[in-house]
Amino acid sequence: MSNKLVAYFSASGTTAAVARNLAQAVDADLFEIAPATPYTSADLNWRDKGSRTSLEMNDESCRPAIVGSVSGMDSYDVVFVGFPVWWYVEPRIIDTFLEAYDFAGKTVVPFATSGGSGLGKAPARMQKLASGARVLAGGTLNGRPSQARLAQWANGAIDA
């Protein structure tokens, strides 16, 4: 077991591809933050104010259920948390994940895929949810970054 974990939520597969490559690049274990009720394309329609994601993101207390759990979370020192950017922050399912574990003493590195925005207020929000952790600024990992580029980014993010 590695002392690093890459945990990710991916609605369309984009974040999943980056997460898999990042886990290989930094020799980390991998965990998918999978929703108990999968998102449909209609759920992901951000233009529809009645869509599932719109309703979730407008409800600060919403915590979508997750399938499965991380085995041995206490053994990880660094947890990379990946997600698509929704409404300039992390999706509520990431909040579910962060509240499910004790992150005290861990380093949390947010990373995101986005069609055009950065992480926004996600790192600050995540710091509040991962009490006792050191949540870093993280960054966006768009396109298809190579494993060498991902390793360089990860090491730079942790050493910053």
Which residues lie closer than 8 Å to 129 by C-beta, 6 or more apart? 95, 98, 99
Which CATH code for domain 4-159?
3.40.50.360
Every domain of the chain and the residues it spans: 4-159
pLDDT, residue 1, reads 63
Report pTM. 0.95
pLDDT, residue 93, reads 98
Helices (H) and strands (E) in the chain, counts: 5, 8
Strand pairing category for 4-8 and 78-84: parallel
pLDDT, residue 2, reads 74
Which residues lie closer than 8 Å to 114 by C-beta, 6 or more apart? 84, 85, 140, 142
Q: What is the pLDDT along the chain (160 residues), one digit of tens a residue?
A: 679 999 999 999 999 999 999 999 999 999 999 999 999 999 999 899 999 999 999 999 999 999 999 999 999 999 999 999 998 899 999 999 999 999 999 999 999 998 788 899 999 999 999 989 999 999 999 988 999 999 999 988 887 6
pLDDT, residue 87, reads 86
